[in-house]
Amino acid sequence: MSAEQLYLSDELEVDWVSHTYRGRFGAIWEIVPSVTQALEETFLVDWSGLDPLMLAYAQERGSAVHFATRLYDENDLDESSLDPVVAPYLESYRMLLDLGFAVDPTRIERPAVHPIWRFGGTPDRGMFYHGDNVLIDLKATYALAPVTGVQLAGYALLELATRPELGPARRFGVQLRPSTPPRVVEYRDPGDTRVFMGALAACQWKRAHYGLPRI
């Protein structure tokens, strides 16, 4: 398996192809759910009502947009190679940065595992906004859903456990729109954390009693 398909650290392994997270807890390595998997396996995120072809296209476009923004932040993007579908979303991302959001280069799609609650995740971005620590979830979809706040609550718990020096993070969903300023929503509901923890507990219970979901 190539380096692009596998993330390795002393505490975590991530297979990007199967989206499998394995965390090390003491001497034991264990497969754990990701933030997204916890929400999907408890149906807080449910794509079943969407046309499969449209969903596949949207997911492919979203992956391409995320990859382009990552390369842009890492100063490694050849913009002449951008797909015409992706380029307008990158323009929207630039507009986000113009609003005062500053990328933390140590938190660009950086995977982590929670040492106590045993879940993993890869936040899109850690940033600073007017001096505040923030977590950003990028979307290239037609709308932002309330469950994005729950997703970000999971990432915030993950970051607080693995990067405590940063302190609590404000949570922002960012809807990138082609060649248009992004829609930025801050999620402030403290109940999002309780909802995520409930979803995580239900997901872990299902896995313990019924096994891992089929890929």
Residue type, 101: F
Residue 129 domain-assigned?
yes
Residue 113 domain-assigned?
yes
Per-residue pLDDT of the chain (215 residues; tens, 9 = 90+): 455 688 999 999 999 999 999 999 999 999 999 999 999 999 998 877 778 888 788 889 999 999 999 999 999 999 999 999 999 999 999 999 999 999 999 999 999 999 999 999 999 999 999 999 999 999 998 889 999 999 999 999 999 999 999 999 999 999 999 999 999 999 999 999 999 999 999 999 999 999 988 65
The Cα 159–Cα 107 span in angstroms is 10
Q: Residue 213 has what pLDDT?
A: 82
- Domain count across the chain: 1
Return the beta strands (E) in 65-145 as ranges: 101-108, 112-113, 120-121, 125-129, 132-139
The Cα 96–Cα 129 span in angstroms is 11
Residue 176 domain-assigned?
yes
CB atoms near residue 9 (< 10 Å): 13
H-type helices in 163-214, by residue range? 191-210
Question: Burial level of 43, CB count in 10 A (0-12/13-18/19+)?
Answer: exposed
Q: Residue 214 has what pLDDT?
A: 67
Residue 136 domain-assigned?
yes
Tokens 């754990």 locate to 32
What's the whole-model pTM score?
0.94
**CATH number of domain containing 159:** 3.40.1350.10
Residue 165 domain-assigned?
yes
Residue 56 domain-assigned?
yes
Residue 133 domain-assigned?
yes
Q: Identify the CA nearest to 123 among candidates 163, 74, 183, 64.
A: 163
Which structural domain, as residue segments, surrounds residue 153?
Answer: 48-199
Residue 83 domain-assigned?
yes
The Cα 148–Cα 171 span in angstroms is 9
Q: Residue 143 has what pLDDT?
A: 86
Q: Please give the C-alpha separations between residue 113 and each of 165, 202, 212, in angstroms, as whole numbers.
A: 17, 18, 18
DSSP β-ladder status, 20-25 and 180-187: unpaired
